[in-house]
Chains A and B, each alone.
Chain A
Amino acid sequence: MKVLMVDKEKCTGCHQCELWCGTEIASISKELATAINETPQPVPRVYVEGKPFAMQCRHCEEAPCLDACPNGTMRRDPETGLIYVNEPTCIACWMCVMVCPFGIINPSSSLKVAIKCDRCRSMGYPICAEVCPTGAISLVERKDYRKKKF
């Protein structure tokens, strides 16, 4: 499965990925000038926090959020393996937030749903990777670290 990886040598911590995720994915208007003044404030799904590194949902092979969700809102797309929040059924219980080891699920009290990267399921290519000025973010095949297979 392909995952988003960040080359730390190239990431400058410029926050462009956050800005364009917020604009193109999170906002309603999808245009920069209007998105930045929208209420409720759009919630980007990628995080540049403290370090020059952009963190998105890891779409874990064994995903704690899938187990934690009490009503089937958190789902895995059978074709792509990507995990996404089916927002219409989310009851904002934050159980997924409680178990995500990476802390990348945002319990949005203004939107009343769990906000999480779905690796731009409905777009052609993840927007954070597309806009990164240095090309630090890219889709790579996840390494199989298992020593043996069952």
Chain B
Amino acid sequence: MRYIIIGGSAAAISAVESIRSLDRESPIDLFSEEETPLFSRVLLPYYIAEELSKPLLNFRTADFFDENRVTAHMGLKVTVIDPKTKTIETVDKKTYAFDKLLIATGGKAIVPPIPGIDKEGISTLKTMADAERIYNTKGARAVVIGAGSIGVEACISLTRRGIKTTLLEQLGQVMPTVFDAEAAAIVQRRIEDLGIEVFTGEKALKFTGDKRVQGVVTDNREIPCDMVVLSVGVRPAAELAVRAGLTIGDMKGIRIDENMMTSVQDIYAAGDVAETRDIARNAYFLNAIWPCAFEQGHIAGLNMAGRKTAYPGSYRRNSIGNFIGIPAISMGVTHAESCALQSDEDEFREIRVRTKESYKKLVLRNGKIIGAILVGQTQKAGLMSILLRKQVNVADSIPLLMSDRLSFMDLLPILRRNADQFSEPEYKELIDTGL
């Protein structure tokens, strides 16, 4: 059995681990465009903030490939996937044959077509090269365009380096895909408390300056700056799949079934490049989130190595940890309106509790949790997570779920009612206590 994995981040490494948990012998070849192996993209803002050095960006030790007997081709781009001959071709014209292929190429940062985009000092933040570029840019004043997770973390990181930063967001609130307006307002205030200027509902129209960027012109103003970070979004790096004729979904990601297989036998996909069923939306979607990529790689690896495993589907999950001084977690669909496949028979419910120090929101469709936001008190977020994932009806437990005193054992009646969904031993043994 010859395994080939294209990609070297969360999904790819996770797949390696689960393949090796079942198959210790067969060769695995891994191809990654990145020169630097095994670093976590999630940590790049910390590198920019000068808080973590390169070695500390790793999410596996340097001997990972040796330990797992993987031949890693770092910095080698794959140019062709040929499903008929079951081979791939790399940029140096070499060909490699596979029995099972995993496409885990991730995403590419979107570069918006804004006039002046090619000036010096303007960069996306996705790759190690991007991070190094930003780190080495000597600037005093930065503008970050796009207030998603990456944008927010980027502007805080730059601020920590002493660079005066402005955050610019086209839509009406920060983190529009993560939080609702209320939570976004809390987050924005915290960002502003750190000394960052935030403009929402403003679009960047052009960049000024000669060779080097000198300013950003928006609908309302011109912001002087000498560096710009673009974090307006990511699109799946699915070119190889497109060219190979694999089915592509509405989100432009590679469509995969519940066993992580693409439209072509023995070719799998996972991570930011893959489109899967989204549990919360009840539709195909692409959630470019590290935990999703990791679990998808995990399931893909199992299936590739012969253990047929179904993926229950992904759902968006975001966590702002200690970055803004208050923990904030969000998952699934956070506005009733934004959910796809609204049918006339569906019932939506939003429950919100706001206090001085915290905000909690649950979104339910037909009595099942499809989204949750927790700001301030986040320790029990995982309980919402599991109820969302298992899609069990919790309509009669809402006061309990919204309570500050919620703990896992309180959920046992729900687990019992849905025992077939909670079949893992960790749940069964607690259900068996009879509490």
Residue ranges of A at the interface with B (Cβ–Cβ < 8 Å): 3, 5-6, 8, 47, 49-51, 53, 55, 58, 60-62, 64, 67-72, 89, 91-95, 97-107, 109, 112, 142-145, 150
Contacts and interface: CB of A to CB of B under 8 A. Distances in A.
Contacts of A49: 405, 407, 409
Interface residues of B, number: 52
A93 B321 contact: yes
B362 interface: no
Given A50-B410, A55-B409, A93-B42, A107 B321 contact: yes
Interface of B: 10, 14, 40, 42-43, 46, 52, 56-61, 290-291, 294-295, 298, 307, 317, 319-322, 327, 329, 331, 378-383, 385-386, 405-410, 423-430, 433-435
9 contacts: A50-B409, A60-B426, A67-B291, A67-B295, A70-B290, A99-B382, A102-B426, A103-B381, A105-B379
A24 to B, nearest CB: 22
Contact of B317 (A92, A99, A112): A99
Given A68-B291, A71-B58, A98 B409 contact: no
Given A94-B319, A97-B378, A3 B429 contact: yes
A100 B382 contact: yes
Contacts of B382: 64, 97-103, 105
B327 A107 contact: yes
Nearest to A142: B425
Nearest to A68: B291
Q: Which 10 A-B pairs have the closest CB atoms?
A: A101-B386, A100-B382, A70-B42, A49-B407, A93-B321, A68-B291, A92-B322, A72-B59, A67-B294, A58-B426
B58 A91 contact: no
A61 B321 contact: no
B322 A53 contact: no
Given A51-B410, A143-B429, A145-B428, 10 more contacts: A50-B407, A61-B426, A62-B424, A67-B294, A70-B40, A70-B42, A72-B59, A72-B61, A95-B290, A99-B382
A109 B327 contact: yes
Nearest to A47: B407
